With several copies, the nearest count.
Chain A
Amino acid sequence: MTAFDVARVREDFPILSREINGHPLVYLDSANTSHKPVQVLDVMRTYWERHNANVSRSVHTLGTESTTAYEDARAKVATFIGARSPDEVVFTKNSTEAINLVAHSLGASVGPGDEVVISEMEHHSNIVPWQLLCERTGATLRWFGITDDGLLDESGLAELINERTRIVSLVHMSNILGTINDVSRIIARAHEVGAQVLLDCSQSVPHLPLDVVELGADLIAFTGHKMLGPTGIGVLWARADLLREMPPFLGGGSMIETVTMERTTYAAPPARFEAGTPPIAEAVGLGAAVDYLSAIGMREIHEHEIELTGYALKTLAGIDGVRVYGPGTPDGRGGTVSFDVAGVHPHDVGQILDDLGVEVRVGHHCARPVCARFGVSSMTRASFYLYNTTAEIDALAAGVEQVKKVFS
């Protein structure tokens, strides 16, 4: 593909031809979950109809084909994020499990007096695992704040990350403010004091070109269903040398070397962290998703989204009574735009928009501390992906006018 052609892209997504309440579907909720192109669905169907078997356990032909398909998917994901080796890629069920895995495995050596640092901008999935870890171990949880512009407040960096800090876990792109955090200074400081850095890339990997070596974090987590893949699959990437030292989290089949009644030894990574039958078809689907994204080009996708975001910010700014949260220009932010319609509760905004076929998310977006920070209990959020158009943003704007009419 030479030029990005959104009309052609849309043809790959059967659901986009659906009607909602008599209107064409305008899906602006991809930060919640993305739709799947036929290319992904077909690969999974073929897997099930031709190659289905369990992996890593059978010498038979189907088992070998399945294992190859599963490991090829791992290699594709590794290439997609610039990992040095497929062995750095662990398949989990979603981002949330990947983060919990780290909280338990790296967290196993954390104790009283140690500190874990997160931020006020985190998704609940990057808050609760650390609260639970601190409860289990007596470590202290500390937080970066958010500036009025919706950026990480780094003013206290040198004190916040100190020699007691063991783990720093931050969102790379906020799922509510859209902010793309430039984490280079924080990573540098963390490494200075010997702390490990986990980045929650659930919103960045699907939308930006990302290279783990350049990024410089020690671990990252992301999730398949937000990047055109199926539900039931997520990824933990970690530096090979770190992963090798991490103790297992879930125990069971396929993560062992030898099991005896007295004592069990564990397989090398990534197997060590993949107990039980993994999400095989889902990994294969994610591999196909990554192929699809790569064929179009992550740079092209990102540029398309910058265009949409700029258009949306301008359009929403032009509507009386609408206030946008987070950075006001597409610089340093992704295609996730949360806003408020004066005097109307987001639930009601979302309901009226749905009536017009416009699907946005309303609520606290699993990021309640961000809502609290901005003094609201919830927000309305429109989020974009490669298949969205500026015409859909016009539909959103028309919907917001309708909202104002109903609640005037």
Chain B
Amino acid sequence: MTDQLYQEIILDHYKHPHGRGLRDPYSGEAHHVNPTCGDEITVRVTDDLSDISYDGMGCSISQASASVLHELLKGKPIGEAAKIHEAFVELMQGRGQVEPDEEVLGDGIAFAGVARYPARVKCALLPWMAFKDAAARAGVEVTV
């Protein structure tokens, strides 16, 4: 059962996170909390997305999700980042009915299994929501 959830890719990102740690300079920062479990994340972005840095405490899903976010969005043109962001959110909110596109989501497709666990969807989305807020504060709209 939880094999679907804890895919190798997710455990890899969890154990070896990409781009972790808060860095300067940045143009926008946001701090988000999952009220149920107390997990937290802080995300910083530059206004051209040339860097996305983050730090926080959380479960494997939220930590791996932050690492994947960093990998997928860092350095991307804003329009493309917005599309990837939307695809990821759609995948998470699809209750397991959405077929992920590897072209767009890369390692993110490993999260398809998470969508079947409503209680964990919030974990996976935590960094993405914080990123969106941080980007907005940097003047970057990631809504397509």
A and B touch in the complex (CB under 8 A): yes
Q: Is A257 an interface residue (CB 8 A)?
A: yes
Chain A, residues 45-84, CB within 8 Å of chain B (1/0): the string is 0000000000011110001100110000000000000000
Given A346-B59, A352-B2, A407-B60, CB of A362 within 8 Å of CB of B38: no
From A59, A68, A368, A371, give the contact of B120 (CB < 8 A).
A59
* CA A67 to CA B117, docked complex, whole Å: 12
| Known A63-B119, A64-B119; contact A21-B39, beta-carbon cutoff 8 A | no
Cα distance A311–B30 in the bound complex, in angstroms: 45
- Chain B residues within 8 Å of A407, by CB: 11, 60
Closest to A257 in B: B35
**A345 and B118 within 8 A (CB):** no
Task: Determine the distance from Cα of A256 to Cα of B2 in the docked complex, in whole angstroms.
Answer: 30
Counting residue pairs across A and B whose Cβ atoms lie within 8 Å, the total is 72
Contact partner of A57 among B36, B63, B123, CB < 8 A? B36
The answer to whether A406 and B6 touch across the interface, beta carbons within 8 angstroms, is yes
Q: How far is the CB of A35 from chain B (nearest CB, A)?
A: 20
Query: Could you tell me which residues of chain A, from 172 to 231, have a CB within 8 Å of some CB in chain B?
Result: none
CA–CA, A68 and B2, complex, Å: 20
Q: Are B61 and A258 in contact (CB under 8 A)?
A: no
Report Cα–Cα, A351/B116, bound state, in Å: 13
Given the interface pairs A59-B119, A64-B119, A345-B60, the reply to whether A378 lies near B38 with Cβ below 8 Å is: yes
Q: Is the CB of B39 within 8 A of A67?
A: no
Which among A68, A267, A368 is the interface contact of B118 at CB below 8 angstroms? A68
Task: Decide: B1 and A355 in contact? CB cutoff 8 A.
Answer: yes
Distance between Cα atoms of A362 and B117 in the complex (Å): 15
Say yes or no: A377 contacts B1, CB within 8 Å.
no
A347 sits at the interface (CB 8 A)? yes
Is there a chain B Cβ closer than 8 Å to A303's Cβ?
no
Is A346 a contact of B37 with CB atoms below 8 Å? Answer: yes
Min CB distance, B74 to chain A, in Å?
24
Tell me, rounded to whole Å, the shortest Cβ–Cβ distance linking B39 to chain A.
6
Q: Does A247 contact B (CB under 8 A)?
A: no
Is A348's CB within 8 Å of the partner chain B?
A: yes
Query: Any chain A CB within 8 A of the CB of B33?
Result: yes
Centre residue among B11, B35, B58 by max chain A CB count within 10 A: B35
Query: Which of these, A256, A347, A355, contacts B37 with CB under 8 Å?
Result: A347
Chain A residues 328 to 373 lying within 8 A of chain B, measured CB to CB, are 345-348, 351-352, 355, 362-364, 368, 371
- State the Cβ distance, A75 to closest chain B Cβ, in Å: 14
Identify which of B11, B39, B117 contacts A378 (C-beta below 8 A).
Answer: B39
Interface size on B, as a range, is 20 to 34
Check if A378 sits within 8 Å of B35, measured CB to CB: no
The residue on A at minimum CB distance from B63 is A345
Interface residues on A, range: 20 to 34
Query: Does B5 sit at the interface, judged by CB under 8 A?
Result: yes
Which residues from chain B contact A257 at a C-beta distance below 8 Å? 33, 35
- A364–B120 touching, CB < 8 Å: no
Contact of B1 among A21, A57, A267, A368 (CB under 8 A): A21
- Which residues of A lie under 8 Å from residue B11 when comparing CB positions? 406-407
- Closest B-chain residue to A20, C-beta based? B1
Q: Smallest distance from the beta carbon of B15 to chain A beta carbons, Å?
A: 9
CA separation between A132 and B118, bound complex, in Å?
Answer: 32
Asked if B29 CB lies within 8 Å of chain A CBs, one says: no
Q: Nearest-CB distance from B66 to chain A (Å)?
A: 13
Q: A348 — which chain B residues lie within 8 A by C-beta?
A: 6, 59-61
**Alpha-carbon distance A211/B59, docked complex (angstroms):** 42
Name the residue among B2, B11, B40 with the largest chain A CB count within 10 angstroms: B2
Contact of A377 with B39 in the complex, beta carbons under 8 Å: yes
Contact B119 A67 (CB under 8 A): yes
Residues of A within 8 A of B119 (CB): 58-59, 63-64, 67
- Do B120 and A378 touch across chains, with their CB atoms under 8 A apart? no
Q: Give the complex CA separation of A79 and B123 in angstroms.
A: 28
Q: Is B144's beta carbon under 8 Å from chain A?
A: no
Decide if B98 is an interface residue (CB 8 Å cutoff): no
Complex-state Cα separation, A271 to B35, whole angstroms: 11
Q: Could you tell me the distance between the alpha carbons of A351 and B36 in the complex, rounded to whole angstroms?
A: 15
**Which residues of the other chain, B, contact A63 by a CB distance below 8 angstroms?**
119
A-B contact pairs, 5 of them (CB 8 A): A257-B33, A364-B37, A378-B39, A406-B2, A406-B11
